Structure 1
Amino acid sequence: MSADGVITFAGIGDEAGESLSEQIEAHQRLGWSTIELRNVDGEPLADLSDAAFDRLAERIERAGLRVVCVDSRIANWARPITGDFELDLTELGKLEKRCAALGTRYVRVMSYPNDGLHDVEWGARVRVRMRMLANRAEAAGLVLLHENCAGWAGTDARLARRLIEDTDSPALRLLFDIGNGIAYGYEAYDMLVALLPWVEHVHVKDARSENGEAVYTLPGEGDCRVSDCLRLLLDSGYTGTLTMEPHLKVRPHEGRADAGPDGVTEFVEYGRAMEKLVAGLREVAC
């Protein structure tokens, strides 16, 4: 580890609650100044009306929070490669202005689930689309962060590297989610070793497999080797953000979006567990 590197903590806001008030409260109770946005009041950031977005941006600023990343639906689990590409172009266009207003340049993307195509054609179409998206993002000063989740390059380090290399743009880098391997059937630590040089953002979750299903846990209590992944990142000089994504209650891909009345409290408890896990590995700036 380098002696002078620091990292920041954040959370995906809607994992604490649907409302912006709950999301802000959870981060303030943790004493964190950084937040990641996905859905607010049940709406993806790109779908908010202009007036609703303006209110959100004002409240975020007034709360003293900095938005580190926006989690888009671009190329995600609900948008197969055979779907309408215009949906992604339109969403990115909307987020260009909104990210600028929020002061963030990072947009989370995936790489399109297949929909009956041969693997070769699937990959070729994905790479064409990603080059177009990255070119547009680069022109807007944004960076697309591809997550190791749903899509052509989501579960295979070799394909993720190919996607980065073929796109050949500073506007495409990697978001590594430590907890996705259990749900998608791969060893996350091994993938992280292979992809470390391209990782610019990290999600922290943990899980164990029970009867073939992912059961999400506090960080360090599952089988995702969270501590090993964090140590590898920090030893390599990672100085980005660690964003927690508990998935204890909120799992959009399963249609679960309500954290319930205890969402804020559980979110804060998860955050404290993550702080404790990281303590001693690296100086943390919150």
Structure 2
Amino acid sequence: MQTVRQLSDLRDAVSGFRGAGERIAFVPTMGALHDGHMALVAAAKLAGQRVVVSIFVNPKQFGPNEDLAKYPRKEQADSRMLADAGVDLLWVPPVEVMYPDGHSTNISVSGVSEPLDGAARPGHFDGVATVVAKLFNQVKPDIVLFGEKDFQQLAVIRRMVADLDFDIEVRGVPTQRDDDGLALSSRNVYLPAEERAAAVALPRALGVVAKAIEKGEDAEAALAAARASLEAAGFEIDYVELADAETLGAPVADKPRRLLAAARIAGTRLIDNIAID
């Protein structure tokens, strides 16, 4: 696996892939890799002849009171995992390479970015859209893979790709979960043992709501019951909502829906979502 930190080296490597007529599959990450990330890498290996992974903890998507400084950074361990998985190229740009002096362009994707995490974390998705657009222009992939755990992020990227005419296929990969059902996340390492055991209440509550809605029970009553159960388990809730799976606005009859939640336990913010049949 080749590791590059300068844009000129990245472009040379990508040009070599392109010159050989090889299809490039790309997995953007912020590092602290786990089995969820490696599922994206495995899907990328099936989708392209060359696999490129980026590791960049993007300061633009963290708010002033969020965890940028303590976000886990494990580049050496991450690099070993990616090399063992057969990744061809690792792109690890320093902040000054990604955002050089004078950088003043930001991308905002209205609509789909505004509810849920957009309301709870103002400016977050502007930072996501900006860095992902830059990564797309740097790596020039044919296909990019994102985890469905960050479902609103996936929806924002799909909207941006369509609106800005990126010639890239965006593919979602199902959420990877621990044995007890908790969605894998780099932030799970923050949880003390007792709170980690309690955190499983989040996916369980969503599962109860999903079954109730699919049986035709009142959605608002089921959502209210889920919020109450999570608060009883020690969570501080940002949202537990049912939304249209494409726009993330109000659910529409006969269109795919998504149940989404974000809540904090022991100061750690967890997100999860479930598709509603």
Larger radius of gyration: 2
TM-score (norm 2): 0.29
Question: TM-score, structure 1 length as denominator?
Answer: 0.29
Q: Which has the higher contact order (CA 8 A, sep 6+)?
A: 1
